[in-house]
Structure 1
């Protein structure tokens, strides 16, 4: 027994280096991949004047249509105050509007504007070459395989993929 290995353990320790076989290895790799992909998104969105948090809300609005703020918060992993700031930003930029919900004067649904839809579409165009660069080191068919595996992994409890 060495001073840095607790008695009765033989598992490797997390290093966050290639070849890490610790129980944390997958999570650490996913975190690193998230950072790389996030950097690509930031680079694509910056010229459009929005951030990832704005894009996340626009994505929900495009997918679901008008959505109340509490549901936006849940869908984006934000809290109530955070989602209010994002929606305020989107309104100031003319990318979304709040509208009254019939039957409930206290609730407002957030709706994407035509300008918001233009920015959303422009983000995809801007991200295309950056996304290709992100997977440039992968071989033929590997980007699709990676996407398929990550989809199965990320949505395992959803019964999807």
Structure 2
């Protein structure tokens, strides 16, 4: 192998650099985009005293209404122990309550409280200016296009993961 020719194994290694042709490039770029967005959204939530993991549960509760804890596990991608801790935190703060599920003595549904809805709305108000920071480098129309593409990517029509 000459010093001028790129090593084929090195050239095909995955990175998250712009222009990487690796089969992992999309996933790595999505991971980097997630980190960037999570950092900005964490900044919006910090003054409200909650974290993204709490807000993820509140989103599900606002969207679906009272939700059984095992369904929160699936909806948020969190494990059972993690959901228990998050719901405990939300209950301590008065943002959610656990209620018995009729017909199932072991199951508990989690429901958002009026205080939880207020915090949910406050989080959106706090996030609006930070969202602008996230999309500042995009051209007019690109934020909407990005949302459309990511929505179709995250929610495929055939339901595959």
Tell me by how many angstroms 1:81 deviates: 0.8
Check 1:5–1:64 CA distance in 2 against 1; reply closer, same or farther (3 A cut). Answer: same
User: Which residue is 1:5 aligned to?
Assistant: 8
Instruction: Give TM-score, length-normalised by structure 1.
Output: 0.90
User: Which residue is 2:114 aligned to?
Assistant: 114
| Structure 2: runs of 5 or more not aligned | none
User: Which residue is 2:27 aligned to?
Assistant: 27
Q: Does 1:82 align with 2:89?
A: no
Q: Deviations over 1:91-123 (max 9, x none)?
A: 000000011111222211110000000001111
User: Which residue is 2:40 aligned to?
Assistant: 40
Q: Deviations over 1:66-106 (max 9, x none)?
A: 11110111111111111000000000000000111112222
User: Which residue is 1:65 aligned to?
Assistant: 65
CA RMSD of aligned residues (A): 1.8
Tell me by how many angstroms 1:11 deviates: 6.4
User: Which residue is 1:128 aligned to?
Assistant: 128
SS of 1:156's equivalent in the other structure is coil
| Structure 1: runs of 5 or more not aligned | none
SS of 2:38's equivalent in the other structure is helix
Q: Deviations over 1:129-149 (max 9, x none)?
A: 000110001111011111111
